Amino acid sequence: MGIAEWRRKLQRGEVSARELTDRHLARIAAVDTTVHAFLEITAERARADADRIDTARQAGETLPPLAGIPLAIKDNLCTKGIRTTCSSRMLESFVPPYESTVTERLWSAGAVLLGKTNLDEFAMGSSTETSAFGPSRNPWNPERVPGGSSGGSAAAVAAGECLASLGSDTGGSIRQPASFCGVVGLKPTYGRVSRWGLVAFASSLDQVGPFCTSVADSAEILQVIAGADRRDSTCLTNPVPDYLATLEQPVRGLRVGIIRECFESEGLDPQVKSSVLAAAAQLEQLGCELVDISCPRFNDGIATYYVIAPSEASANLARYDGVKYGHRAEPAGAAENLAVMTARSRAQGFGDEVQRRILIGTFALSAGYVDAFYRKAQQVRTLIRRDFDRAFEQVDLLLTPTSPTTAFRFGAHAEDPLTMYLSDLLTIPANMAGLPAINVPCGFDDQGLPIGLQLIGGVLEEAKLLQLAHHYEQAAAVMAQRPPAELVA
């Protein structure tokens, strides 16, 4: 059942918030030794919050929309008094003294925190294999990765360990794991949701969004977390529409662009291609008009991203020096000088992938190379955005596969970072342009692994994006299938 169904049961007294919380904590205890979606389980706080909600309901108080709904939070969002590690040894002991805006809004809406979920270290990866605390596993097949970087958040929802979760998306880190784990994953327009309290990876690309088991639940979570925030200067001040109110509006007549370049990629799995094209045909049956669209620089997004994102990461991660906070390699005074202590702390605190990206970014920003690399990448980014602008002059929404393949085996790309990077080939361009995009499950391959459909909207067109995704979801009924219980039991 989704959030709305559980809310009705809670309101009618058919289940208490404490019972619902205990059910999910029991599920975590039963399956998370296999899935490893969670880094920290906040059972005591969850039960206390649930008890307060039950007391308020019994007293006849009017409760907020997510009262009693158990959620999980990616461990790169600051939670006051609860460890926030970014799955890194660098922040292994960091306990934030403040709450991120999005989690603050969830708690104000009555949501119950079950715990913090696993991720690739500092959100740099596509499989959770770079986590310093071990990878999460895909509930559909524990021998496969759940995707990344928000793999723990996606796996937790797919395994039934929470009703919804939050992740972050810098180049596909919500949509790609949502595709691999067979759940809905939404990346909002850049600035639609506050980034205050999100540990920064690439500040011009990062965005927070939900994982859910339905599009309607995604609309519910977005409704709560979206909106202006004076603490985030990049946060948009546009009014937040009623996303649930437009879900059922007809989609007949909507023009959906099929991005030609996405289906011409050499690495696109034939099963993924056929499943996504079948989903497009389903939209046509719902009354949408399919339009062939060219975005000539779409596939240039990945090369552009791997200059811009590491450059911003190099700047953002420079603060982790073992002085004010973060891992320190040795006791104060033991190193010959500050430079030696900082170098040793960073070498020990950061994993290989994070160090690789810091080095790439530092090089791209270095004297003599910044024009050739970083500035040139920003110019290509502008061209990618212009391709999207021209496309949206012809269509309402765009359609692509979410990932070129289904979930791969652990270690498949361990020795080949470039192949790993290509798993985000189809999701990165939306981040480059700051556009909203959603993954909706659209089928399965011959191994029983989920395949994801990506829909991309124009700036602040989340309502239209959710509307079309909801109609497809209802018609296709792919979400009726869940991971085999024995795989995560």
Annotated active-site residue 74? The verdict is yes
Max intra-chain CA distance, the chain: 71
φ and ψ of 332, to 5 deg: -55, 135
Q: How far apart are CA 278 and CA 100, in angstroms?
A: 40
> From CA 310, how far away is CA 360, in angstroms rounded?
6
Q: Which of 149, 194, 218, 403 is catalytic?
A: 149
Amino acid occupying residue 358: I
For tokens 């556009």, the residue is 435
CA nearest neighbour of 2 among 146, 213, 202, 295 = 213
From 100, 168, 173, 423, the catalytic residue: 173
How far are the Cα atoms of 137, 186, 444 from residue 190, in angstroms, in the given order? 29, 12, 30
Whether residue 173 lies in the annotated active site: yes
| Residue corresponding to tokens 């810091």 | 358
Residue 168 annotated in active site:
no
Q: Which two tokens stand for residue 398?
A: 């765009």
**Which tokens belong to 356?**
């690789």
* Alpha carbon of residue 163 to chain centroid: 15
- Do 76 and 168 touch, CB atoms closer than 8 A? yes
The answer to whether 410 touches 129, Cβ cutoff 8 Å, is yes
- Chain centroid to CA 133: 19
Instruction: For residue 93, say if its preceding peptide bond is cis, omega within 30 degrees of 0.
Output: no
Enter the DSSP assignment of 372.
I
> Residue 417 burial (CB < 10 Å; 0-12/13-18/19+)?
middle
Q: Angle, to 10 degrees, between the axis of helix 462-476 and the axis of helix 215-225? A: 160
* Pair 126, 423: CB distance under 8 Å: yes
Contact 478, 452 (CB under 8 A): no
Tell me the catalytic residues: 74, 149, 173
